[in-house]
Amino acid sequence: MFSFFSQKSKLLSSIDIHSHLIPAIDDGARDMDTSIALIKELKGLGFKKLVTTPHISDLYPNNSEIILRGFNLLKEEIVRQKIDIELEVAAEYYIDEHFEELLVKDDILYFGEERYILIEFSFFTPPHNIENLIYDIILKGYIPILAHPERYRYWHHNFNKYRELKELGLLFQVNLNSIRGDMEIQNVVAKFIKHGLVDFIGSDTHHMKHIKILKKSLKDSFYKKIFKTNNILNSSISI
């Protein structure tokens, strides 16, 4: 499905909207040294702005205060080491009752002037009443982005469900490393790209293994095709 070629990769968007770079806060960077190493690698690939999005879920019960405290420490270290890159913080919200409570209270970490919210679903069971939740998010003045829709296997054989959600106002962020994923994931990514359903791309960087795969993904011929058949919005977020 995807072909790999060896020439040097050319970054077609210098803004990454999905990563886990704040140290010791979720399943991403385990400490500050790792955070800095990952950021340096991303900068070396050509990224100029990183929106880091730690998990907020039952497994990682973060809140705005915890995330902002960790983010400020990371920014201080970036300044101390004179690393020329822009950082912004948001969150990756697992959709559950706790998220709905946060939405009611407007206790939401979003990014961009458009007030984008990055959300994710269970990988095992489809969400309930997601149509109503999308409506509620938009009514609150936010724009929901679904992280890595290609990874929700329960919809792989019901592709119309993706179309229905898109029509309701849900945007889609595909993981770049899914280009190098297993064949089923690759096939779904190919469908997204072919039908122009991709709104954002993201690295979803957690650790150095992801960086290694990312370097290969950026050299894949299908990386360029994403931009030919989709209106990718990453670059609309100001640097």
Query: Are 38 and 209 in contact, with CB atoms under 8 Å apart?
Result: no
Structure token digits, residue 71:
């983010």
Cα separation, 46 vs 65, whole angstroms? 30
State the DSSP string of 32-87.
HHHHHHHHHHHHHTT--EEEE--EESSSS---HHHHHHHHHHHHHHHHHTT---EE
Cα separation, 40 vs 78, whole angstroms? 10
Neighbouring-strand partners of residue 171: 145
Cα separation, 216 vs 5, whole angstroms? 9
- Domains along the chain with CATH numbers: 15-228 (3.20.20.140)
Residue 239: its pLDDT value, please? 62
Cα separation, 205 vs 20, whole angstroms? 6
Query: Are 170 and 144 in contact, with CB atoms under 8 Å apart?
Result: yes
Beta strands in the chain (DSSP E): 15-16, 49-52, 55-56, 86-89, 92-94, 116-120, 143-147, 171-175, 200-202
Question: pLDDT tens per residue, the chain (239 residues)?
Answer: 444 333 445 799 999 999 999 999 999 999 999 999 999 999 999 999 999 999 999 999 999 999 999 999 999 999 999 999 999 999 999 999 999 999 999 999 999 999 999 999 999 999 999 999 999 999 999 999 999 999 999 999 999 999 999 999 999 999 999 999 899 999 999 999 999 999 999 999 999 999 999 999 999 988 999 999 999 999 999 76
Q: Does the predicted TM-score (pTM) go above 0.85? A: yes
